[in-house]
Amino acid sequence: MIDRETLKGFHAWFDGYVQGFLFPDATLQKNSQVKIDHSKRVCTEIANLGRSLGMDEPGLHFAETAALFHDVGRFEQLSRFMTFSDHHSVNHAELGISVLKSEGVLDRLPESDRDGLCGVICNHNRFAIPQSESGFRLTMSRLLRDADKLDIYRIMIEYYRNGGGEDNTVALGLLDIREISPEVMEDLAAGRLVLSEHLRTIDDFKLMKMGWVYDLNFPASFAAVRERSYLEAIRGMLPDTDEVCRAYTRVRTHLDAKCGVPSVSGIEMIAQSAS
């Protein structure tokens, strides 16, 4: 069981650990701070989602711990490989679990809680949660994945609204050309998540994020995406083409259905996204 004092101790350890990474390059240091801020915001997001489900205090503490530590491997990853791309380095979730174990951070917890946290952290960056998961651990895995997505939407939108820049860390080094891969459009048209191997360009990446709506789990998650106009923001960063309109309409229709909102026409959606 994770009580309030234990949770405070985890936050204190995290703050001390991440401050130990000092990067000589200003861009890398900025990227490290982005992950620190992201981890804290995911804690807030997951607490809000948990409360929307009526979760009790021990459950909320467990969820917040998973959120706090879900990206703890990112700092060692950035230090060793100077990238956030798991494909070009290591699985950051697995690296994070190694850090937690080597530092003895979770030693104060019962074995069941330690195993549960490690499992939830491992599940957060998988393409899909293993079908073998069930019960409390499945719920926590879904909560963490949703909370993580909600803040990544914000990070990505702010990044491109500010012009992107030379540091392409957010989009993992993809080609900065106005081109969309057919495979990405096929994934979205089929109502499924875009496979990472189908990504070639930054526009592919933006569409993949739009399609994350297919992988959300809870009413409060869908409501947050709708209320914050995340899909409309991403739509505004993409070329004004028929295929982009169709993809946006397909994803937005799914979101509206999950929010219990009557669907509107594609023409109305275009008008809304432009406003």
pLDDT (tens digit, 0 to 9) for every residue of the chain, 275 residues total?
899 999 999 999 999 999 999 998 999 999 999 999 999 999 999 999 999 999 999 999 999 999 999 999 999 999 999 999 898 899 999 999 999 999 999 999 999 999 999 999 999 999 999 999 999 999 999 999 999 999 999 999 998 888 776 566 666 678 888 899 999 999 999 999 999 999 999 999 999 999 999 999 999 999 999 999 999 999 999 999 999 999 999 999 999 999 997 755 443 433 443 43
Q: Using N-to-C axis directions, what is the helix angle for 202-210 and 242-258, rounded to 10°?
A: 20
List the helix and strand counts (H, then E) for the chain: 13, 0
Q: How far apart are CA 173 and CA 13, in angstroms?
A: 32
pLDDT of residue 236: 95
DSSP helix/strand/coil, 232:
helix
With CA atoms as reference, report the closest residue to 204 among 153, 150, 247, 256: 247
Asked if residues 206 and 234 have their Cβ atoms less than 8 Å apart, the reply is yes
pLDDT of residue 271: 43
pLDDT of residue 5: 97
Asked if residues 238 and 209 have their Cβ atoms less than 8 Å apart, the reply is no
pLDDT of residue 169: 64
Q: How far apart are CA 136 and CA 121, in angstroms?
A: 14
The segment(s) of the chain belonging to CATH 1.10.3210 are 4-149
Whose tokens are 């914050």? That residue is 228
Tokens at 14, concatenated: 């995290």
Q: How far apart are CA 122 and CA 133, in angstroms?
A: 12
Whose tokens are 């990405």? That residue is 184
pLDDT of residue 274: 41
Say what the pTM is.
Answer: 0.92
Whose tokens are 């499992």? That residue is 119
175 — phi, psi (to 5°)?
A: -65, 130
* Domain boundaries 4-149, CATH class: mainly alpha
CA dihedral 260, 265, 271, 272 (to 10 degrees): 10
pLDDT of residue 261: 77
Whose tokens are 């957010």? That residue is 170
Q: How far apart are CA 37 and CA 244, in angstroms?
A: 31
Asked if residues 222 and 149 have their Cβ atoms less than 8 Å apart, the reply is no
- AA identity, residue 11: H
269 Cα distance to chain centroid: 25
